[in-house]
Structures are given as C-alpha cells and as structure tokens.
Amino acid sequence: MARGKLRIYLGAAPGVGKTYAMLSEAHRRVERGTDCVVAFVEHHDRPRTEVMLHGLEQTPRKELRYRDSTFTEMDVDAVLARHPEVALVDELAHINIPGSRNAKRWQDVEELLAAGINVVSTVNIQHLESLGDVVESITGIRQRETVPDEVVRRADQIELVDMSPQALRRRMAHGNIYKPDKVDAALSNYFRPGNLTALRELALLWVADRVDAYLQEYRSEHRVSTIWGSRERIVVGLTGGPEGRTLIRRAARLAEKGAGGEVLAVYISSSDGLTSASPKELAVQRTLVEDLGGTFHQVVGDDVPAALLDFARGVNATQIVLGVSRRKGWQYVLGPGVGATVARDSGPDLDVHLITHDEAGKGRGLPVARGARLGRSRIVWGWLVGLGGPALLTWLLSSVFPEVGIANDMLLFLTMTVAAALLGGLFPALASAVAGSLLINWYFTPPVHTWTIADPKNIVAIAVFFGVAVSVASVVDLAARRTHQAARLRAESEILSLLAGNVLRGETSLEALLERVRETFGMESVALLERESDVAPWACAGSVGPGPCATPDEADVDVPAGDRMSLVLSGRVLPAEDRRVLGAFAAQAAVVLDRQRLQQEAHQAKELAEGNRIRTALLAAVSHDLRTPLAGVKAAVTSLRSDDVEWSEEDQAELLAAIEEGADRLDHLVGNLLDMSRLQTGTVTPIIRETDLDEVIPMALGGVPDGSVHLDIPETLPMVDVDKGLLERSVANVVENAVKYSPPGTPVLVAASAIADRVEVRVVDRGPGVPDSAKDRIFEPFQRYGDSPRGAGVGLGLAVARGFAEAVGGTLHAEDTPGGGLTMVLSVPTAPERRPEHPERTAVITS
C-alpha cells in the first residue's frame, strides 16, 4: 500500500489562520468530490473557525478519563476504519492524554500516513524541536508540546500562513482569537510586537531553507547542471591581492540591484596547503565581505578556473566577478589566464564580469622565498655530516668492512646525503653528494686510487648515484622547508585569529593589545608613538613594559601604524617574516586608539549637549512652571495679610488651601529637579536587596486620589533584587502620570507578572495615548507630550522614573494599550532564590 501524503500549514503564532486555511482547503476538496473527513479539529470557541466546520464530515472523538476529568482525543481506530482519502488533523505537536494510543499526535498521523491516508495538518513554528531554546529566549516560555523537525521536513507540502504582527494584534484586540478577559494579558506577554516579529522571522527563514533544500534536492535528482537564477548569487574570485576589496564592493553593488541578492567570496588555495597570498589581506577581505552581508569560502584546488566554476555551479550562482589579470603582457605566452579561461568555460547560464583595478597589468611579482630558518647549529651539523660523514664512512668501509660491495656502499653514502639534507638543508646535501661520488670513484671503483673507471657499468652506477642523491636531497630539503613554513603559517594564523577574536569580542583596551604584542614576540617593552606633524616631537599614546622607547630611532623594531603613528618594540631584532603579523597588530593598535578617542569625544559632546539642553529647559521651568505656584502662594498670603478686607472663616480656609496646594506643587517640582540632578551627576547609589512588590507598590500610591488605581498583583510573585526606595519613586511617578492623563471615572490598572527571570509591572491607562514617534521622547527631561492636564509639572516625572528604574537594573518603556491609551512597562530582575510556583493565584486590590 502506498504511503499517504502529508500537507502542513505552518504558522508563526496562534491565530494567524492555519486551521481556517486547512478547513477552507477541505471545502474545496469536497466540492471537487474528494472523500475528506475531519479527524480532529479544535476551533477554540472561535466563531469563524467553528462555522467552517459546517458541511464537513467529522469522525467521532475518543473520550478518556484522566484525574477525574473527561477529555477527548482523535480516535485513530475510527479514522482507520473509515479510511477516507484525506483526513484533517489539527495541532500536529499536541501531547495526547495518558492512556491514548500514542504519546504524541504526530505519531497518530504517522499511522494514518502508513495506512495510505493523506493528511492535512497544522503546526506553529515554536513547536519545532530544534527551535525550543530559541523560542524560549524570545518569549520566556518553554514549549512542552514539540514535534521533531524531521517529521515536518518530510512533509510533501509545507504552506506558510503568514500575517504581520500588527494585523495579528488587531485580530487579537477584536476578540477573534481569545476571549475578551484574556486579551490584555496575551497582548502584554506572548503577543508582543517584538515576540511576533521574531517568531515570524523564524518561520520565514525556516520555510526559505526548506524551499532552498528542496530546490537543491530536485536539481540533484534530475541531474540539473545548468544554473537556475532563482535569485542572484554572485561569486567573487579572490587571489589575496589588493584588488580583492574593489571586487567585493562591486559585487555588493550588483547584488543590491536584485531582490535577495547574495555575495559569496571564494579563495582557491593549492592542495599542498600553502599559499602565496597575504594572510593579512585575506583577513581584511573576509571582514569586508562579511560586513557587506556576504560569506567567505576557501576551496582547495590545483586547477583554479575549474575549481572556481565547480564552486559557482555548486551554489547555483548566476554571476562571477573577477579582476583583470595582474600579469604583464609577455606572461600571456604561458596561458590565457584565469579570467579568460573562466569566461570561456562558464557557459551561457553563468555571467562573468571582469573588473578593472589599479593593479591590472602591473605584474604579480616573483614569489618571496620563505626558506626555513634552520639556525646556526643545525647548519654547522649539516656541513659536518655532509663533508665529514662521507670521509668517516670511507674509512669504515675500506678498513673495517671491506667486503660490503659497491651497491651497498652507494646506499650508505646516499644515507649520509639524506642526513645532511635533514640537518643542514640543500647545500650541505649537494656537497655530500659530490664528495660521496668522488670517494666512491677513488676508493671503491676498480681500478681503485685512480679517477679511471674500468667498467662502464660503474660509470652509470656513479652517475645514477649522484642524480639520485641530488634529487633526494632536493626533495628532503623542500619537505623540511615546507614543514617549517606550514608550522610558521599556522602559528601566524592562530595569532591573527586571536587578534580577530579580540576585535569581535569588543576588546578595545590599547594597553591589553600592546601587552599581547609584547608576549607574542617576547619583547621587553612595546609602545605606540604618535606626533602631530612630520617635524613635531614624538609622544607616547600607550606603552607596556619597563623603559619604553621615546622615539622610533631608539627601538629595535619600528613598524608604521599610520601616517603619524609608529609601533616600537625593544628587546631584540625581529626577522623580516615576523613583520607581517606585527603589521596587523600595528594597524589594530591605531584603530583601537582612534576608537577610544572618538568614544571619548562623542561622550564629551553628548554631555555638553545634554547639559546645554537641561540648562535651557531649567531656565524655562524656573521662569514659568515654578513661578506659577509661587504667584498663587504670594497672592494668597498677600490677601490674608491685607487689612482692607475682612475674610470669613471659609475664605481664609480656601486661601490657606491654595497656599498648601501651591507649596505641594513646589515641593514636587523641586524634588523632581533634585532627583534629575542626582541622575545627571551619577550620584544615585542604589542599595540592592530582596524586596517583595507587595511592600513597594501600595506605598507608591500615596500621591494619587483614592479609587483612581486598580491593583492586580499575584500573591506568589518572586522576590525582586532592587532598591526599595528608588523603585517606589519610579512606580509613583509612572502612576501619577497615568492618573493625570486617564479620563475621569476610569481607574488606572497596575498589574504585575513574572516572565522568565524578570518581573514586569504594567501601568495601563485609557488616556489619549502617545504615537510611536514620541514614545522615546516622553522619557527625556523637560518633555511633555501634548497639553499637560491642569498645567502641572515640568516634564521630569517619566525621566526620573526611567533613571531610577535603570539604576536598579530595570527597564521602563511605553506601549500602546489595546483599545486606546498608554501602557508603561517597568521590568526589574528577580531574586535568584525564589521563582513563581502558582502564578494563577492573584490578589485584586482597589485603592
């Protein structure tokens, strides 16, 4: 029996319309005469989804008893007995009630597919097993119901049901997903815009990868070798030369012209693992291509054009970008070059761009010899073995072992040549080969003690010996040098990789970088010098080690680090090959110094601008907001002291109340000014302790009228690590602001909930709200959005609230209230000792 086909509707979150789309497909299939039944669909009391079930055959569900309650699950046996052509099974990742046929619903679906029944199902992206940790980091919720990725990947068809976060939140606010009493909690927790956007991106990327994998699988099965331009993929061929940066930027511009363009930079290295390219330049080009959104690849291949074309066709590239050859005109007699060969063999489905650059036609230059530095002792031993070894061997063979034979004599002399090559390199080995040939001729080839050779076969033997000795010596020397070279390049790559890692980790301390240079090269001191002009004296920007050099002339090693900077080292003279890596350190040191200074200048400029703005705003506040209550107080006092009017007790009480109100307003304004001054000068020192929100939030409501705030605080919230006084002031300012803007008769809701390792306090009002463009601005000092009711305040309340929240390790931001208004979200860290156990138990208090 043929296996059934599986079709899955994949969504980013609940409510996007997966079940609705599945039922719509079922109606279309039934109209076409397909035998289609509903094996299990859960409409969750959503009217529109429930209506879609009308007119579709539904198999009876199986009732199960669990913990004194009755639950219903899909009856697999009933569906198998009915054996429809198509079965609809909702919620693929669902965990069945204990006692069911299978533990997971996807296992039920596997049985239906094995029985030849086609299945249409639904699942959300957060239920995929591999994304569990990612989803938990985004939403703070660990998904218990999961389905293996392979089950979903094996589906014959996957259709993404997509919806923007804004549209999904509107659908939620209209009551189309959850009941009205759950809407506010859902919108403020799981259905936040950031959560929905991240989940939507996960779904889109997962489906895109699935489509790309299917395309590659189809091309492989059907042996499609031609390029399918489903999207622009541009391969940049790099040689490690300076023109690579130009090629990468040109490829990035080409990719920007098409939607979804992708840049892949590739460097072809030889199969022996060694390269003549500059590791420093390749590292720079790799960083550049990654900064532009592309990827860097290194491919091994001795035939560069063939390897480049194989890579391009393997990644389904549509274009190749190469630089015009750097070879001089006479060098083309050796071959057409990589660019011309790639253009000739690319075929009609792969475009090749040859880009001109400043290095074109200037020649590649001769390869730099990177011979092994064997050391004086090894070279001396090599010459001793190369010259003294044959002499000693001649004495042994002629005096101690005279009957060995000329063939064995030659093998022993060849051994001496190999030993000389291993110890001292090529030249001692060549000397050993020459000496061995002469000694064999003089002492062991008849007639002995003459240069005459009687037997022509011995002439051939000595010639072969010399040729083999020279060849073996050359090969052994080359292998030794390349081994040393590979070890050195490996060490250099490790150093450069460590340096790149420091950059990526954001380690910007100049002293730490100079100390790493000193340790890497074993120097006594390292300093970075700079000067303002070519004739100005040198100044030390940073140094490590005792007695740093004051000028480059005093240093043992001097490496330029810019136009007017120099990295100087003292301790010993470094070989030339070490300067390449040292140059990378010098360039990084200059970048670190410039970055530190730019950060300092930016910080100083920000402080100056903020100080000027605050001074201007403070003058405006003193001239208007502080003057208004002072004028009221002065007028009331003047009236009371006046002898011209005899005030009644009621009038006196009213004037005294006006004086008290003005004094309270002045106290509130001055208090906020002092708090903002403390925040600006950094003198706020929080005392972090474990605190219960039940002790903080009620105390923060003392400044608002009774009945204006409704509290919804769970009793079992975890303790929070905060400064009690600062948190109370922050909550008080936020609540007072919400009450001030909330319509009369509409209380402000203050609710709290635990999410992962944080506790959120949400202050919800039904006022006019604030547009998205002004949500950050309202937290700036002396900012009041719109017309402040009753003309109170100087616009410092929310600025002080955010400052105190950040001082205790929390955050404060604004969101829209569903249905109108503004919601302030104050998030603080929980204490690590306690975690919520029963968040469903809540206490409701009205102040």
Strands 748-755 and 709-714: parallel
pLDDT above 70: percentage of residues in the chain: 80
Most confident by average pLDDT, 209-213, 284-288, 425-429:
284-288
Nearest CA-CA partner of 496 in 241, 280, 287: 280
Say if residue 256's pLDDT is above 90.
no
Other CB atoms within 10 Å distance of the CB of residue 5: 15
- Tokens describing residue 265: 């930079």
pLDDT the model gives residue 30: 92
Cα separation, 367 vs 656, whole angstroms: 96
Lowest mean pLDDT across 69-73, 324-328, 429-433, 795-799: 324-328
Cα separation, 337 vs 327, whole angstroms: 8
What's the pLDDT band for 794 if we cut at 50, 70, 90? low
Sign, CA torsion 94/98/103/106: negative
Say if residue 612's pLDDT is above 80.
no
E strand or H helix at 436, and its extent?
Answer: helix 426-439
Terminal alpha carbon distance of the chain: 70
pLDDT the model gives residue 489: 67
E strand or H helix at 427, and its extent?
Answer: helix 426-439
Cα separation, 183 vs 359, whole angstroms: 65
- The predicted-structure confidence for 318-328, as pLDDT tens digits, reads as follows 889 998 876 65
Beta strand segments in 183-245, E: 233-238
Q: Which residues contact 662 (CB under 8 A, 6 or more apart)?
A: 629, 630, 632, 633, 636
Say if residue 696's pLDDT is above 60.
yes
Say if residue 260's pLDDT is above 70.
no
Cα separation, 432 vs 424, whole angstroms: 11
How many angstroms separate the Cα of 458 from the Cα of each of 408, 433, 441, 447, 622?
13, 16, 9, 11, 114
Q: Which residue has the higher pLDDT, 701 or 216?
A: 701
- The predicted-structure confidence for 64-100, as pLDDT tens digits, reads as follows 888 778 888 899 999 999 999 999 999 999 998 888 8
The mean of the pLDDT values for the chain is 79
pLDDT the model gives residue 487: 66
What's the pLDDT band for 454 if we cut at 50, 70, 90? low
Cα separation, 684 vs 799, whole angstroms: 14
Q: Which residues contact 60 (CB under 8 A, 6 or more apart)?
A: 75, 78
- The predicted-structure confidence for 348-360, as pLDDT tens digits, reads as follows 778 888 888 776 6
Instruction: Please compute Rg for the chain using Cα positions.
Output: 41
Q: Which residues contact 757 (CB under 8 A, 6 or more apart)?
A: 829, 830, 832
Beta strand segments in 700-757, E: 709-714, 720-722, 748-755
Say if residue 216's pLDDT is above 80.
no
Helix, strand, coil proportions of the chain in percent (round to 5)? 50, 15, 35
How many angstroms separate the Cα of 163 from the Cα of each of 17, 89, 135, 194, 613?
9, 22, 18, 14, 43
Nearest CA-CA partner of 176 in 21, 41, 15: 15
DSSP assignment of 527-578: EEEE-SSSSSPPEEEEEESSS--SSGGG-SEEEE-SSSEEEEEESSPPPTTH
- Tokens describing residue 259: 């939607």
What's the pLDDT band for 824 if we cut at 50, 70, 90? very high
Say if residue 590's pLDDT is above 60.
yes
Say if residue 375's pLDDT is above 70.
no
- Tokens describing residue 683: 């003198």
Half-sphere exposure of 701 (CA within 13 A, CB side): 22
Q: Which residues contact 320 (CB under 8 A, 6 or more apart)?
A: 234, 235, 236, 237, 308, 309, 312, 342, 346, 350, 351, 352, 353
pLDDT the model gives residue 501: 63
What's the pLDDT band for 383 if we cut at 50, 70, 90? confident
Q: What global pTM score does this model have?
A: 0.40
With 0-12 / 13-18 / 19 or more C-beta atoms within 10 angstroms meaning exposed / middle / buried, residue 687 is exposed
pLDDT above 90: percentage of residues in the chain: 13
Say if residue 514's pLDDT is above 90.
no
Say if residue 506's pLDDT is above 60.
no
pLDDT the model gives residue 784: 60
- Tokens describing residue 433: 């080969």
Say if residue 361's pLDDT is above 60.
no
C-beta of residue 719 within 8 angstroms of C-beta of residue 841: no
Q: Which residues contact 786 (CB under 8 A, 6 or more apart)?
A: 768
Cα separation, 322 vs 239, whole angstroms: 9
Cα separation, 454 vs 716, whole angstroms: 109
Nearest CA-CA partner of 847 in 755, 721, 731, 758: 731
Beta strand segments in 561-666, E: 565-570
Report helix, strand or coil for 592.
helix
Cα separation, 715 vs 342, whole angstroms: 72
Other CB atoms within 10 Å distance of the CB of residue 550: 16
pLDDT the model gives residue 107: 92
Does residue 781 have a cis bond before it (omega within 30 degrees)?
no
DSSP 830: B
pLDDT the model gives residue 496: 66
Say if residue 472's pLDDT is above 90.
no
Task: Please name every residue paired with 827 in a beta bridge, in sequence order, or none if there are none.
Answer: 760, 811
E strand or H helix at 297, and its extent?
Answer: strand 295-300
Sign, CA torsion 390/393/395/399: negative
Nearest CA-CA partner of 230 in 260, 207, 254: 260
What's the pLDDT band for 845 if we cut at 50, 70, 90? very low
Report helix, strand or coil for 432.
helix
Angle (deg, nearest 10), helices 244-256 and 279-291: 10
How many angstroms separate the Cα of 535 from the Cα of each of 221, 295, 481, 549, 679?
71, 44, 45, 18, 46
Phi-psi region of 347 (alpha: psi -120 to 50; beta: other; left: phi over 0): left
Say if residue 219's pLDDT is above 90.
no
What are the phi and psi torsion angles at 721 (to 5°)?
A: -95, 95
Q: For the CA atoms of 88, 92, 98, 101, what is the dihedral angle to 10 degrees?
A: 50
pLDDT the model gives residue 497: 67
E strand or H helix at 10, and its extent?
Answer: strand 6-11
How many angstroms separate the Cα of 499 from the Cα of each of 492, 807, 836?
10, 35, 44
DSSP 802: H
Report helix, strand or coil for 832.
coil
Say if residue 300's pLDDT is above 70.
yes
pLDDT the model gives residue 258: 63
Q: Which residues contact 796 (CB under 8 A, 6 or more apart)?
A: 669, 672, 673, 675, 676, 781, 782
Lowest mean pLDDT across 218-227, 380-389, 408-417: 218-227
pLDDT the model gives residue 190: 81
Q: Which residue has the higher pLDDT, 221 or 194?
A: 194
Cα separation, 3 vs 462, whole angstroms: 77
- The predicted-structure confidence for 165-184, as pLDDT tens digits, reads as follows 888 888 888 777 877 777 77
- The predicted-structure confidence for 21-56, as pLDDT tens digits, reads as follows 999 999 999 999 999 999 999 888 788 888 888 889
Angle (deg, nearest 10), helices 132-139 and 193-221: 160
Lowest mean pLDDT across 335-349, 689-703, 741-755, 775-789: 775-789
Other CB atoms within 10 Å distance of the CB of residue 413: 24
Say if residue 843's pLDDT is above 50.
no
C-beta of residue 102 within 8 angstroms of C-beta of residue 114: no
Q: Which residue has the higher pLDDT, 430 or 199?
A: 199
| Average of per-residue pLDDT across 584-596 | 80
